[in-house]
Structure 1
Amino acid sequence: MLLRVLHETLYDYSPGVDTAQHQLHLQPLSGVTGQTLLSHRLLISPPPDQQSCTQDVYGNAQAFFALHTAHDTLRVSADSLVQTSPHTAQLPPGATSPWETVRDHYRYRGMALTDEAAEFVFPSPYIPRLLQLQAYGRPSFAPGMAIGAALLDLMSRIHADFTYETASTNVNTPVLEALEQRKGVCQDFAHIMIGCLRGLGLPARYASGYLLTAPPPGQARLVGSDASHAWVQAFIPQMGTSDEAEGHWLDLDPTNNRRAGEDYVLLAVGRDFSDVSPMRGVLHGGANHQLRVQVTVAPPDDALWTRLDPPAVPPLDSAEGPC
């Protein structure tokens, strides 16, 4: 599937900002399973005084820019074209292994070699180790249950037990609060599932990206009507082989109770939201601000792209960067 993603962020500051430094995760990953980035354009207005692009420790594209002159607005637009492929319906090799085998594989052993998934067993800034998360997750992991089946069961339970409710939480809501109130948004659903898995000794990480949605019947797609999305990647090693470290990350979306498919665009992965925030920064000035975010996901030939206001072209006072 060919998908175009336009992610627009607009800040209005009052009073204005004197200087600012920002970090972005807005370029989709390429070369991961089922996804290839065909093009990407980053537009920043006003033009930054410094700008660079690098790769973070998890392989995500990470952009930095600095503004050394006063400004009262900031506009950042990321325009990407991504080719996605259908994901196999089969669970990966190793999914039939008892979940305890995977847990034991990731238990700490002094001087033992570890693989890339090992660090995702440990707590992280947004997902502390909590007995309440472990207790919630445990019913899905009966003794001897296959790891793949247990993961799917936990995903389904979270979807059934929790209510998706916008504005019920924010990016700083503790995971325990979301667990106790049994409602939240996709970030909360992902954090809760990851916390359950890590509490049981299983590696899991946070996936940030986008999901193609369908408009109501009889209505056209609307520009800016989509949103960023979040889901879970759980690691399944190829147990009993010499390639255990060459296992697979299984994409699981507890918000929608499904595995990710070709209608998903993967932006970045990390321990939790703090590693993959689309945009963050340090400002001097700008005590008050208003934030507007618009996300549009659609095939590139969809008619909505002709209705963009303003059109997705560089304004005269903007700078274009690689990521």
Structure 2
Amino acid sequence: MLPAPPRKLSPPSMRFRIEHRTSYRYAGTASESFMEARLTPVNDDQQRLISRQLTTTPGSNIHTYTDYFGNTVETFSIVHRHSALVLVSESEVETLPIPPPNAALDISVSEARQIYRSERLQLYEFLRPSPAIELTPEINQLANQFFKPSDPLGPSLLKLNTWIKENFKYSPGATRIDTPVSAVLKNRTGVCQDFAQLMIAVLRSAEIPARYITGYIETDSQRDASEEGVDAALIGASESHAWVDVRLPGGFWWPLDPTNDCIAGERHVKVATGRDYQDSTPTRGVFKGTYTEWLNVGVVMQRIQNPVPENAGL
């Protein structure tokens, strides 16, 4: 009797519960507000959206559509007077390891560029400057430094990822959402949004397609608590995170996180995609009746135990 074939194991996964709370408080009374939110985690081959709910205070009717880049967008209006507005997005997500794109990383930069040129119409928006990403002579110098034609593509990408981490200081409050890439390069300081847009600028200047990703990340301190079996509130994920998707020859988007000098994986939860921050900002809106507002954003990201399948012991 032949032995039974080995049971095919599912790849290891992680499961997270995420609460993203956005609070607006007005100096006076707003007579009307209109908001749109990109807060729904992606549901794809590397990430499974288990549950999702958005609530607003004051309450409202929420309408949903998919934008040009494939992001889920929720819109709503508050048409009566209010002095504050609170959005609470609650999600449960399962993430899977990303398979290594080994073959695509070994080809030369020159060979990769030839392939990209054949796909230029499809990738046009991720090869050109965009509203928040300018391609300056200084950026072009970096592109020439890191992406020489004969160099292998994969190691060149990782070197740029490491260089940003080692040469730029992570400093919340040092920049604004509209700080240009040129200022980030000059001052060598910023946050994840700045480092992602800087990396994208260098890649596009090197004729390598790249797009901007927003989402969430589990930090080291959070991971340690979870690995000990403690499902505690995870310290450190106070706001959204940002990283970069690099298009590799063959059609695979490879996620790199220059803020942490790593390949984005199971501890990253992807929410939205775009050319830059402006295409994937978590919330934006307009209001009438007052000229001053205060914004507070908080994210709680908690790793939870995956349920054990019924046939796990078979």
Under a length normalisation based on structure 1, what TM-score does the superposition of the two structures give? 0.84
- What is the rounded CA distance, in whole Å, between the counterparts of 1:101 and 1:215 in structure 2? 41
* Counterpart check, 1:148 vs 2:160: no
* Pairing 1:191-206 to 2, within 5 Å after superposition: 191-206=197-212
Partner of 1:102: 112
* Structure 2 unaligned spans of 5+: 1-13, 307-314
- Residue 295 of structure 2 corresponds to 291
**In structure 2, what is the Cα distance between the partners aligned to 1:222 and 1:151?**
30
Provide the secondary structure at the position in 1 that maps to 2:76: strand
Contact 1:131–1:199 under 8 Å retained in 2: no
Which residue does 1:7 correspond to in 2? 20
Secondary structure, counterpart of 2:287 in structure 1: strand
Letter in 2 for 1:91: P
User: Is the Cα–Cα contact under 8 Å of residues 19 and 68 in structure 1 kept in the other structure?
Assistant: yes
Matches of 2:298 and 2:53, distance apart in 1: 16
Match of 2:173 among 167, 173, 191: 167
Give the aligned residue type for 1:231. Answer: W
SS at match of 1:255: coil
Residue identity (%):
34
Cα offset, 1:94, TM superposition: 1.9
Amino acid in structure 2 at the alignment position of 1:34: Q
Is the Cα–Cα contact under 8 Å of residues 187 and 229 in structure 1 kept in the other structure? yes
Counterpart residue identity of residue 95, structure 1 = L
User: 2 CA distance for matches of 1:223 and 1:43?
Assistant: 24
Equivalent in 21, 43, 51 of residue 62 of structure 2: 51
1:232 to 240, 244, 257: 244
Match of 2:97 among 81, 86, 97: 86
Does structure 2 conserve the Cα–Cα contact (< 8 Å) formed by 1:92 and 1:248? Answer: no
Between Structure 1 and Structure 2, the one with more helix by share is 2
Cα deviation digits, residues 243-294 of structure 1 (max 9, x gap): xxxx100000000000011011000110000000000001112311111111
Equivalence map 1:1-323=2 (5 Å) = 1-31=14-44, 33-48=45-60, 50-88=61-99, 90-107=100-117, 114=120, 116-215=122-221, 221=233, 226-238=238-250, 247-300=251-304
Using the TM superposition, give the Cα deviation of residue 12 of structure 1 relative to its aligned residue in structure 2, in angstroms: 0.7
Q: Closer, same or farther in 2 for the Cα pair 1:151/1:214, shift >3 Å?
A: closer
Cα distance, 1:255–1:225 mapped onto 2, change above 3 Å: closer
Question: For the aligned residues, what is the CA RMSD?
Answer: 2.1
- Quote the offset at 1:223 in angstroms: 6.9
- Look up the equivalent residue of 2:203 and give its one-letter code: L
1-structure distance, mates of 2:80, 2:236: 29
CA distance in 2, matches of 1:113, 1:301: 42
Count of residues in correspondence between the two structures: 287
